[in-house]
Chain A
Amino acid sequence: MSAPAHYEVVIGLEVHAQLLTRSKMFCGCPTTFGAAPNSQTCPVCQGMPGVLPVVNKKAIELAMRTALAFGCRVNPACRFARKHYYYPDMPKNYQISQYEEPLAEEGRLEIDIDGASRTIGIQRLHLEEDVGKLVHEGTLETAQASLVDFNRSGVPLMETVSKPDLRSPEEAAAYLKAFRAVLVFLGVCDGNMEEGSLRCDANVSLRPRGSTTLGTKVEIKNLNSFRNVQRALEFEVKRQAQALDAGEGIRQETRLWEADRGYTRSMRSKEYAHDYRYFPEPDLVPLRIDSRWVDEIQAALPELPRARRQRFVAQYGLPGYDADVLTQSRALGDYYEAVLREPAPSAGADRPKIVSNWVMSELLRVLPGDDERAIATSPIPPRHLAGLLRLIDDGTISGKIAKDVFQKMFDSREDAATIVGREGLTQVADETALGAIVDSVMAANPKAIDDFKRGKTVAKKSLFGQVMKATGGKANPTLVDRLLEDKLAKIQR
């Protein structure tokens, strides 16, 4: 659904991403998801008085890596600030965040929408700590109490604020997808929206088409999937357009997306006070990020999904579809190229496409391509897949048998040659031996021979199948075809 034609939609997204550190932002408690409630806390992340937070260097570096990938300027000086609000998810009544001096500013992210490319500005990127998790006792309506788990409290969060450059709910969803892909690629966030590793709030306003001033914006919270981002924004655009058409103003407010009910509702002012009374965090000294540190992080940046996709098309002559699939995770692209680097003396010029086919149709049949760890620790390492393809190239096994071998390799973690040797799967390419089998099959199928003589060429196919069956699928199909052709030709004369 698009907005009424006389309005232009203006959207900016704030994305919170949990950084992939082992320990928390300001203390050594682990960040592992799913532990028993309140089993991963200490006085620092429970906000006890008198404790001293200490910055996790890895969190700074992961945020710098992201900032550089988005082409942001990493500020030479930045500091932390206290953001005050009173809520039971945060017992010390302030969240350590960054305010006036964020880690990085002024970047961009390219998104693809309807086959065209658009550049979305990134305003700022800063670090903060996550807060505890609240669950209501009983249902929302009847709850008498809330329950708090502080395991998540203090987990490093990176907040990235886009410029108000997005022009439709679809673009917002595309931005979030592209954003997530970059983060996962960089290894800075696992991108798991269900577990809350990646969360999104949106600012949305409408303005008369042609106007250059921004309309009154509404912030929508609780957008925890690509689909919800799009649905919530579609609802909100429609709501605002109706209000404006009716001559009602838009109230600047925060609204909550109720995914189950499919609407946004106003959050009461007490639930969300905008008066945060920021001031510099006195417990943390400022950060000085010199150009040497920035250069170090820059040099270690991997090739980003978009650049890699374009290179795969240009360098290997792959179709765009293949390049898309193969670059869905860093590990998968690495896997593909690792196979290509393995020796393949008998392979043809179409090897990149053949390898792509094997990765897409066989590897991705048994492993999820977007799961970095699953691909990186595949029971079939690139070396083994290359070995399997060599056995096809040099005629040792047929492509059909190779697919069975692939499954066996996956189950046993053995290499192809070991399995083929042990199970006697070597292709029969000995002309004399195969000729004898063809002869016996022809002798055992007089009806097929008769059919063939009467001009039913399809009978040859049936004989071909019989030969393959007699050899357990191991016969070299090209050779069988030629032998049958020769022998049938003689009969016909």
Chain B
Amino acid sequence: MIDRKDVEHVARLTRLALTEEELERMREQLNSILTHLDTLRGVDTEGVEPTAHAVDLVNVMREDEVEPCLPQDSMLANAPDRSGELFRVPRIIEE
């Protein structure tokens, strides 16, 4: 079971500022997801190789060829803040 401390830890790692109410809601939702996983865990997987994919594909690759990029202005268009050609983000050196 996931407790409040776990939720706070994950929230901190993902830089999410959750209110007390949200922390509690997340705790409940995460636990219900884990309960669902327990149901899945009940399936007999004897002799089945673990996989991260539902499709039976390997080695999907591309040749090393340069393709057009998106124009600089388009890439910067959605930036909340910019400084010339650069994205501007809040200071990340912490005291």
- A residues with CB within 8 A of B: 21-23, 27-30, 36-43, 46, 54-60, 79, 84-88, 93, 134-137, 140, 143-150, 268, 270-271, 273, 275, 277, 279-282, 284-288
Contact = CB atoms under 8 A, between A and B. Distances in A.
B1 interface: no
A87 B92 contact: yes
A85 B15 CA distance: 10
Nearest to B61: A57
- The A interface is mostly helix, strand or loop, or mixed, namely loop
Given A134-B92, A147-B87, A42 B69 contact: yes
Given A55-B61, A79-B52, A275-B13, A41 B70 contact: yes
B94 to A, nearest CB: 5
Nearest to B15: A86
Interface in B32-73: 52-53, 55, 57-70, 72
5 contacts: A23-B67, A30-B66, A38-B72, A43-B70, A56-B64
A41 B69 contact: yes
A156 B59 CA distance: 17
A30 B86 CA distance: 18
B2 interface: no
Which 8 residue pairs are nearest across A and B when measured between Cβ atoms? A28-B67, A280-B52, A58-B64, A147-B86, A57-B61, A148-B87, A37-B85, A88-B89
Nearest to B50: A280
B93 A136 contact: yes
Contacts of B9: 275
Contacts of B13: 84-86, 273, 275, 277
Interface residues of B, number: 37
A144 B91 CA distance: 5
B75 interface: yes
Contacts of B90: 145-146
Nearest to B60: A285
Given A41-B75, A43-B70, A271 B94 contact: yes
Contacts of B59: 285, 287-288
A60 B62 CA distance: 11
A400 B89 CA distance: 63
A55 B91 contact: no
Nearest to A141: B93
Among B63, B69, B75, B90, residue most surrounded by chain A Cβ atoms (within 10 Å): B69
- The B interface is mostly helix, strand or loop, or mixed, namely loop
Given A59-B64, A150-B87, A285 B53 contact: yes
A39 B58 contact: no
Contacts of A287: 58-59
Given A30-B66, A145-B83, A38 B61 contact: no
A149 B94 contact: no
B83 A147 contact: yes
B58 A54 contact: no
Nearest to A277: B13
Contacts, number: 137
Given A36-B72, A282-B52, A88 B92 contact: yes
Contact of B57 (A40, A86, A143, A285): A285
Nearest to A84: B13
Among B62, B84, B87, residue most surrounded by chain A Cβ atoms (within 10 Å): B87
Given A38-B86, A140-B93, A148-B86, A22 B61 contact: no
Given A23-B67, A149-B85, A279-B52, 8 more contacts: A22-B64, A42-B70, A57-B63, A79-B52, A84-B14, A136-B93, A271-B93, A285-B53
Nearest to A58: B64
A46 B91 contact: no
Interface string B1-39: 000000001000111000000000000000000000000
B69 A36 contact: no
A117 to B, nearest CB: 36
B85 A285 contact: no
A419 B75 CA distance: 55
B75 A146 contact: no
A288 B67 contact: no
B83 A137 contact: yes
Nearest to A290: B59
Contact of B58 (A140, A149, A285): A285
Contacts of A36: 72, 85
A37 B73 CA distance: 11
B40 to A, nearest CB: 16
B86 A22 contact: no
B86 to A, nearest CB: 4
A42 B68 CA distance: 9
Given A143-B93, A270-B94, A38 B87 contact: yes
A22 B58 contact: no
A244 B55 CA distance: 54
Contacts of B68: 28
Given A37-B85, A273-B13, A282-B52, A143 B91 contact: yes
A260 to B, nearest CB: 16
Given A40-B69, A145-B88, A285 B55 contact: yes
B52 A268 contact: no
Given A41-B69, A147-B83, A275-B13, A55 B53 contact: no
A293 to B, nearest CB: 9
